[in-house]
Amino acid sequence: MEKFFNSTTKLLQLPVHVHSSFLHIPPTTSSVTISVVFHTFFPGTNTKNMFLSSRLLGRSTRNHAFNFSKCKNTLKKRCEPLDKTSYRKTNFDSLKYVKYFGTIVDGESPPKTAIVMLNMGGPNDLDETGPFLKNLFNDGEIIQLGPLQDYLGPWIAHRRTPKVRQQYDEIGGRSPIRIWTEKQGQGMVEILDKLSPETAPHKHYIMFRYAAPLTEETLLQMKADGVKRAIAFSQYPHWSCTTSGSSMNHLWRELKRLNLGEEFEWSLIDRWPLHEGFLNAVTKRINMGLEQFDESDRDNVVIVFTAHSLPMRVVNRGDQYPQEVGATCQAVMEKLNYSNKYIMAWQSQVGPLPWLGPQTGEVIKGLASQGHKHVLAVPIAFTSDHIETLYEIDIEYAEEAEEVGIQLKRAPSLNDEPLFIEAQADLVYNHLKNGEVCSSQYGMNCAMCVNPTCRTIINPIGNYNRLRDTAKGVQTPKVVNDLQ
């Protein structure tokens, strides 16, 4: 039910002072009724925003009774690390002046350029672990379960929830990805407003694939804010059809489903494995990681670049991820002047099917058997901390390393690294300056792709071609109507 409160406060942008008894909404209440009631209590509400919020409210309230205290705690948790002034507790039962980050306030001009930060997302509290996993295992573009996806996906998610929930509990009770993405986005647009006044004001939006804020929520917010020009900026530096591809395909499907295909003009920043600023930021974080070792040991540290693995059936389809991750590692080592020995490894495999290796845990044990004593793990395809760094590397691999006599340290994730935030701004700045629709490689489907949604762009800012369409002599239409 937190969606109820988030969407309401976000879209209404009004001081909220309500009693919990008022907010206990029976599950059968229609969105129209809620809309009318809120309009009565909050006169002056923008009708367009009210309509949009009532859509979201209607979807939520049919399934849940409102739990005010849970919602209050969730909202407090979300706002506190980002903006301490955005949440003020007035008494036991009420919230006052809830200002949700990321929405323009009445009177402000609409953003001229929206930068939509696409990423996987993660649970914002422990109770979101189940829904997060359900969304993840329901996505056939990342986890392919064939015709049984709709049944097996929720079942696997349900079975895995207690274990994963426990892991989130051990790393602070939530995924930090939203906090870091918010900080990165805010820093990026501040730089962009100075760098590129002609495309300002810039505004960042977070669009997660499996956790709030989901694609629909963000699109409705963008519409309410009056956005016209939008850049879909993948926060995965390296392209994979299971990550960036899934996020973008879902974006195109949602635009069509919500009938927003003509609302925004899109361009894409779909990959950036060799961006100079990104490489510099990673290099700096590796040097910070090396400094954690005694000076006398530093030259003997083996750098283990570790990225999320892929099922081999995805690799064999022609996915571009392994080569792009490898290119980043090589370029970073060049910047380090090959100061240390290094190896590439892959982590987070699940299930019995074959995955891309070598596995990070096995690499650590293998290095120990060869007599190595010091290892620096470098999370290379992640741009902020999340469960794979904070739990898998810092807890699981650290324990395994200790057992085999390896001193394991981890390079700090990019998080709020200033060089990285500058790199994000530079990527967007150059993208705007060059009037680019997408990278030339975006038009290249996996050789064995059979998914018609892949490489679509709904309403792009200029012409583009999918390789598949070009080969057939077909012009890709400006608004695609053949999405599944």
Active-site annotation, residues: 275, 426
- Rg of the chain (C-alpha set): 23
Q: In this chain, which stretch among 116-124, 382-390, 422-430, 441-449 interacts with ligand FES, using CB under 6 A? A: 441-449
Whether omega for the bond prior to residue 311 falls within 30 degrees of 0, making it cis, is no
Q: Which tokens belong to 84? A: 């301490």
In the shown chain, the binding pattern of residues 304 to 333 toward ligand FES, with x for contact by CB under 6 A and - for none, equals -------------x----------------
Taking CB under 6 A as the binding criterion, the range among 110-118, 271-279, 291-299, 444-452 that sits at the site for ligand FES is: 444-452
Piece of the chain touching ligand FES by CB under 6 A; list 27-35, 169-177, 322-330, 448-456:
448-456
Question: Which tokens hold the place of 394?
Answer: 């810092």
Minimum separation from the CB atom of position 194 to ligand FES (A): 37
Q: Which is nearer to ligand FES, 71 or 449 (CB)?
A: 449
Q: Toward ligand FES, which CB reaches closer, 103 or 243?
A: 243
Minimum CB distance to ligand FES, residue 368 (Å): 37
Q: Judged by CB under 6 A, does residue 446 bind ligand FES?
A: yes
Q: Which residues pair with 2 in a beta bridge?
A: none
CA-based nearest residue to 343, from 324, 330, 356, 334: 330
Instruction: Measure the CA–CA gap between 221 and 213, rounded to whole angstroms.
Output: 10
* Cβ distance to ligand FES smaller for residue 389 or 445: 445
From candidates 445, 461, 464, 466, binder to ligand FES by CB under 6 A: 445
Among 224, 228, 225, 215, CA closest to 254:
215
> Quick one: 56 or 120, whose CB is closer to ligand FES?
120
Torsion, Cα of 261, 266, 272, 278 (10° steps): -120
- Give the number of other Cβ atoms within 10 Å of residue 42's Cβ: 17
Nearer to ligand FES, 303 or 449 (CB): 449
In 3-state terms, what secondary structure has residue 460?
strand
Looking at beta carbons only, is 67 or 451 nearer to ligand FES?
451
- Helix axis angle, 2-12 to 47-61, nearest 10°: 180
CB 11 within 8 A of CB 223: no
Cβ nearer to ligand FES, comparing 102 with 140: 140
Assigned token pair, 125: 């509290």
CA distance 191 to 187: 6
Closest approach of ligand FES to the CB of residue 447, in Å: 9
Give, for 91, the enclosing helix (H) or strand (E).
strand 88-91
Q: Do 73 and 189 touch, CB atoms closer than 8 A?
A: no
Identified binder of ligand FES from the candidate list 449, 457, 461, 480, rule CB under 6 A: 449
33 binds ligand FES (CB under 6 A): no
Residue from 340, 407, 451, 465 that binds ligand FES (CB under 6 A)? 451
The distance of closest approach from Cβ of residue 163 to ligand FES in the complex, given in angstroms and rounded to an integer, is: 29
CA distances from 202 to 21, 107, 193, 423 (A): 40, 16, 6, 16
Residue list 218-257, contact with ligand FES (CB under 6 A): 241, 245
Q: CA geometry: angle at 418 spanning 387 and 438, to 5°? A: 80
Query: What single letter denotes the amino acid at residue 309?
Result: S
Q: How far is the CB of 451 from ligand FES (least distance, A)?
A: 4
From 255, 377, 454, 480, residue interacting with ligand FES (rule: CB under 6 A): 454
Nearest to 2 by CA among 173, 151, 217, 204: 217
Compare residues 98 and 241 and give the one whose CB is closer to ligand FES: 241
Residue with smaller CB distance to ligand FES, 343 or 444: 444
Query: With binding defined as CB under 6 A, does residue 375 bind ligand FES?
Result: no
As measured in angstroms, the least distance from the Cβ of 444 to ligand FES is 8
Which residue, 386, 367, 385, is CA-closest to 376? 367
Residue reference for tokens 């309401």? 8
Within 10 A of 454 (CB to CB), how many other CB atoms are there? 19
β-pair partners for 214: 208
Region near ligand FES per CB under 6 A, out of 204-212, 392-400, 449-457, 475-483: 449-457
Shortest distance (Å) from residue 137 CB to ligand FES = 18
* Contact assessment for residue 13 and residue 86, using Cβ atoms and an 8 Å cutoff: no
Stretch that binds ligand FES, among 115-123, 161-169, 292-300, 443-451 (CB under 6 A): 443-451
Which part of the chain contacts ligand FES (CB under 6 A), choosing from 116-124, 130-138, 415-423, 445-453? 445-453
β-strand 374-379 against 407-410: which pairing, if any?
parallel
CB under 6 A: which stretch of 10-18, 259-267, 284-292, 447-455 binds ligand FES?
Answer: 447-455
Bridge pairing between strands 88-91 and 94-96: antiparallel
Smallest distance, ligand FES to C-beta of residue 448, A: 8
Report residue 305: phi and psi, to 5°.
Answer: -70, 130
Calpha distance 477→411 (Å, rounded): 45
What's the min distance (Å) between Cβ of 209 and ligand FES? 16
Q: Which residues bind ligand FES (CB under 6 A)?
A: 241, 245, 317, 445-446, 449, 451, 454
